Amino acid sequence: GAGVSQSPSNKVTEKGKDVELRCDPISGHTALYWYRQSLGQGLEFLIYFQGNSAPDKSGLPSDRFSAERTGGSVSTLTIQRTQQEDSAVYLCASSPGLVNTDTQYFGPGTRLTVL
Amino acid sequence: AQSVTQPDIHITVSEGASLELRCNYSYGATPYLFWYVQSPGQGLQLLLKYFSGDTLVQGIKGFEAEFKRSQSSFNLRKPSVHWSDAAEYFCAVGAGSNTGKLIFGQGTTLQVKP
């Protein structure tokens, strides 16, 4: 079956522009996660959606970052007024959401470069 | 706060040699522990996980890991490394009983010599 997909695979933008990154989770998965992978910072948790519960936004680095999940499926991560330090690979993962030990299935990521 | 330390940033082993990648965690209760692998250009793939029961966990691709509470460790092992095992390996701990989010270590890059 289809795995987690992300688009675009690469995004180059200028400092100060807004960007939107998209994640399509595995069908039927109720939990969706965003992580960021950057040099020097490793893999950092950003935000977590579980069903209809309020999302856990504790990992978002600033108020320039936001995410939504429409209809319990597709998610969009938005970064406003991008900065060079936002350059990273943004990874999305989904899991069945039944228990916290569920395997998270990761997408291939979106590589964001801010010039 | 929960944290994960992978002391080795880079490891080189010869093909056919044994492998051990170290992982130490900080967590107040019984942790949920995971090892993921990221091959070049690929997404992260789960190798194995521990959350209860037998402390020696078997995973895919011939990997295993042992949970040692006394040492706060969850080291990954493989008896004989193949060239295709060259990748980056991440240890992670679950951030708490009421969430599925993961706290990752910095990763260990494995190079395999022919």
Least confident window among A14-18, B46-50, B91-95: B91-95
- Asked whether B26 and B72 are in contact (CB, 8 A), the reply is yes
Q: Is residue B113 part of a domain?
A: no
Cα–Cα distance for residue pair B35/B23, rounded to 1 Å: 9
On chain A, the residues whose CB falls within 8 A of the CB of B36 are: 106
Considering only CB atoms, B43 lies closest to which of A42, A103, A108, namely A108
In tens, the pLDDT along B23-53 reads: 999 987 778 999 999 998 788 999 999 988 8
Average pLDDT value for residue range A5-28:
96
Percent of chain A with pLDDT over 70: 99
Least confident window among A111-115, B37-41, B60-64, B104-108: B37-41
Contacts of residue A14, Cβ cutoff 8 Å, sequence gap at least 6: A82, A114, A115
Kindly state whether B28 is in contact with chain A, defined as any CB-CB distance less than 8 angstroms.
no
Q: Is A4 in Cβ contact with B43 (below 8 Å)? A: yes
CB atoms under 10 Å from CB of B109, counted, come to: 14
pLDDT higher than 90, residue A25: yes
**For the domain that residue B24 is a member of, what is the CATH number?**
2.60.40.10
Least confident window among B18-22, B51-55, B82-86: B51-55
pLDDT number for residue A93? 96
Cα–Cα distance for residue pair A13/B87, rounded to 1 Å: 29
Q: Label the pairing between strands A31-38 and A42-50.
A: antiparallel
**For the domain that residue A13 is a member of, what is the CATH number?**
2.60.40.10
In tens, the pLDDT along A84-110 reads: 999 999 999 999 987 777 889 999 999
Q: Degrees (nearest 5) of the Cα angle A32, A101, B82?
A: 95
Count of domains observed in chain B = 1
Q: Is residue A51 part of a domain?
A: yes
Determine the distance in angstroms separating the CA of A31 from the nearest CA of chain B, rounded to an integer: 8
Kindly state whether B27 is in contact with chain A, defined as any CB-CB distance less than 8 angstroms.
no
pLDDT number for residue B96? 75
Q: Is residue B15 part of a domain?
A: yes
pLDDT number for residue A12? 98
pLDDT higher than 60, residue A1: no
Q: Is A42 in Cβ contact with B101 (below 8 Å)? A: no
Determine the distance in angstroms separating the CA of B97 from the nearest CA of chain A, rounded to an integer: 7
Range of the domain at A15: 5-108
Determine the distance in angstroms separating the CA of B101 from the nearest CA of chain A, rounded to an integer: 7
CB pairs under 8 A between A and B: 60
Count of domains observed in chain A = 1
Q: Is residue A115 part of a domain?
A: no
Q: Name the residue with higher pLDDT: B97 or B17.
A: B17
In this structure, what token pair is assigned to residue A6? 């992300």
On chain B, the residues whose CB falls within 8 A of the CB of A9 are: none
